Amino acid sequence: MQDMTNIVALKGLLGETITKESKLCSMDYEHYRATIQTTRRSGVVDMANIVIPVELAAAVEEIEKEADIRPNPPIMCTGKLQTLKDWETGSVLLFVLADFVGVLTGDNYEEENAVHIEAATLGKKPIYRETPRGKHIADATIKVDNILRPHNPCYIPAIFWEKDAEAVSAHTEGDAIAITGRLQSREYNKVIDESTQELRVAYELSVSSIDNTLESEETRE
């Protein structure tokens, strides 16, 4: 399996209360769950899911102590971007598997929401389209190594914009890619049946730049 760079760095406000759980997407895995809130320049708030291994229990305890003093304290997290499919429900969770978490002291900190992935590949042929507002985008998935289920790759949902959307849409599944971007979330209405809709949240990687010249599988061979 390829050795790939997969780095996420987040600084923002602790979202929901940290919970300790024994299962992750129907898989036995003891961990802590949390969210980090960051804000775009436009003022839109994004939430990112964080999965914290129990090996970082001491750091989690420090965050919980700070949360008892002031709600939603500023925290930081670094780790790798992952997805897991729940085989019971069919849902897919996009999350950061943390290798470090900690409290940010004071209020004078700069928010950070940064993702950098190298030596990955496109998971499927990108879909190029124009939004109702006239923006050109491409929907794609980025295939990376799965840390928790090594035999099942992670497929990261990603959105490319304008010139990057046009560039990536000329490529297909298996082509090599390196990207920089940020995590974003958005609410949408899921149609359940003719009379029922359900408000849900979609989590995705918003790509700000393609950091390499895309290379096809044929070229690499």
SS3 labels along 10-57: EEEEECCCCEEEEEECCEEEEEEEEEEEEECCCCCEEEEEEEEEHHHH
Q: Is 165 helix (H, G, I), strand (E, B) or coil?
A: helix
d(CA 172, CA 9): 28
Residues 80 and 173 in one domain: no
Residues 97 and 144 in one domain: no
d(CA 43, CA 204): 18
Residues 126 and 109 in one domain: no
Q: Which of 115, 138, 156 is the last residue of a domain?
A: 115
- CB-based contacts of 120, cutoff 8 Å, min separation 6: 4, 6, 142, 143, 144, 176, 177, 178, 179
With contact defined as beta carbons under 8 Å apart, do 165 and 158 qualify? no
CATH number for the domain including 31?
Answer: 2.40.50.140
H or E element that contains 109: none
- Decide if 1 is inside a domain: no
Q: pTM of the prediction?
A: 0.90
Lookup: tokens for 51: 């999965």
Ordered per-residue pLDDT tens for the chain, 221 residues: 444 589 999 999 999 889 999 999 999 999 999 999 999 999 999 999 999 999 999 999 999 999 999 999 999 999 999 999 998 888 999 999 999 999 998 778 899 999 999 978 999 899 999 999 999 999 999 999 999 999 999 999 999 999 999 999 999 999 999 999 999 999 887 777 777 877 888 999 999 999 866 665 554 45
Q: What is the dihedral of CA 124, 130, 135, 137, to 10 degrees?
A: 0
Q: Count up the domains in the chain and report the number.
A: 2
